[in-house]
Amino acid sequence: LQDIFYRIHTIIGELIPATNLFIALSDSDSDLVPFPYYVDEFDAPPEPRLLSDRGLTQRVIRTGEAVLMTPEMREKRLENGEQIIGSICLDWLGVPLVESGKTIGAMVIQSYSGDVRYSSADTELLQFVSSQVASAIVRKGDADRILHLALHDGLTGLPNRTLLQYRALHSIAVAQRR
């Protein structure tokens, strides 16, 4: 997924100034929100957070609605108890990643500079892109699960004969080349 996230960041960066972008995915099994892709010029990737926390990212995931926060809106949001994780940015735009009617995460871009300001037009564009991103994430996850099922025993989770044969043939090919 890291390659997909990097390519997504590159494409979005061509459409909207998006130096700072992160993707948060909702893990329904643990009620956590990890950040598998996080690029920010000031902050390191945060630890996974609870979905029930009052952060803006979690709000986007819980409600399935985009959030655009500008300096004019910041004080009101902070008064309502919402939290900004990391350095205070000038503009913050988060859109839900929705696949088959279910919110699987959020994609967020941030701006620390007055040179880059986000608008409702940017929100619409990012929402369109996010639907494609959500589909790609789900497809990649499904492909990984299918591959795991094909190469591992369903009961024990241990590698099966097919994986053993594949690795043996690969090792033989590497040995022959050397």
| Residue 35, SS3 per DSSP | coil
| pLDDT tens column, 23-71 | 999 987 788 999 999 999 999 999 999 998 888 899 999 999 999 988 8
Residue 83 has pLDDT above 90, yes or no: no
pTM of the full structure = 0.80
Cα separation, 99 vs 138, in Å, equals: 8
**For residue 71, what pLDDT is reported?**
83
The confidence score (pLDDT) of residue 73 equals: 80
pLDDT of residue 135: 92
pLDDT value of residue 156:
92
List Cβ neighbours of 175 (8 Å cut-off, separation of 6 or more).
none
Task: Evaluate if residue 78 carries a pLDDT over 80.
Answer: no
pLDDT tens, residue by residue, 129-153: 998 899 999 999 899 999 999 999 9
Kindly state the average pLDDT of the residues 66-78.
82
Strands (DSSP E) found in 43-158: 49-50, 67-69, 91-99, 102-111
Find, among 73, 56, 74, the residue nearest to 65 by Cα. Answer: 56
Mean pLDDT estimate for the chain? 90
Long-range contacts of 3-9 (CB under 8 A, 24+ apart): 4/136, 4/137, 4/140, 5/36, 5/37, 6/37, 8/107, 8/129, 8/133, 8/136, 9/37, 9/39
Give me the phi and psi of 56, to 5 degrees please.
-65, -40
pLDDT recorded at residue 177: 96
Whether the CA torsion 147, 6, 46, 80 is positive or negative: it is: negative
> H helices of 17-119, where?
56-63, 71-79
3-state helix, strand, coil in the chain (%, to 5): 45, 20, 35
Q: What is the mean pLDDT of residues 160-176?
A: 95
Going by C-beta distance under 8 Å and a sequence separation of 6 or more, which residues neighbour residue 114? 90
